[in-house]
């Protein structure tokens, strides 16, 4: 993660692009890339969105757009001094509490929509 973060810093510094990399602009760019990723799947039915059914062309596009999303997310987290690995792990812990196995196995009911 540090290597990618530093490569992105260097890439931006060499182009004097740091001035454009405000959190607001990075969120906009991230959303644009998520839109490009969404476009690949938007007319596929669920079965055709699975790896074994994706065309080579669509899989190649996924790789490119997922990389774009990842890079903007890393850059955004860097600008906000957020440790992505630490926060990702923290969120998994929070989700494990929200979704205990005995209440969540084999269903996709949101934690606040359960009948209790």
Residues that bind Mg ion (CB under 5 A): 33, 36, 65, 68
Six-digit token pair at 1? 């993660």
Least distance (Å) from Mg ion to the CB of residue 61? Answer: 9
Residue 14, token pair as written in the block: 């060499």
Shortest separation between residue 115's beta carbon and Mg ion, angstroms: 42
- Assign 3-state DSSP to the chain and report helix, strand, coil percentages, each to 5: 75, 0, 25
Please say which residue, 10 or 63, places its beta carbon nearer to Mg ion: 63
Residue nearest to Mg ion (CB): 68
CB of 21 vs Mg ion, minimal distance in Å: 17
18 vs 39 by CB, closer to Mg ion = 39
| Closest of 38, 16, 28 to residue 72, by C-alpha | 28
CB atoms under 10 Å from CB of 96, counted, come to 11
- Which residue, 36 or 58, has its beta carbon nearer to Mg ion? 36
């Amino acid at each position: 993660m540090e290597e990618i973060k530093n490569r992105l810093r260097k890439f931006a510094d060499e182009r004097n692009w740091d001035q454009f990399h405000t959190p607001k602009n990075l969120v906009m760019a991230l959303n644009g890339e998520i839109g490009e990723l969404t476009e690949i799947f938007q007319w596929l039915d669920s079965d055709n969105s699975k790896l074994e059914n994706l065309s080579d062309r669509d899989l190649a596009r996924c790789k490119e757009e997922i990389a774009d999303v990842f890079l903007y997310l890393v850059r955004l987290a860097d600008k906000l001094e957020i440790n992505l690995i630490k926060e990702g792990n923290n969120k998994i812990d929070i989700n494990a509490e929200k979704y205990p196995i005995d209440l969540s196995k084999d269903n996709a009911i949101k934690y606040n929509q359960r009948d209790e």
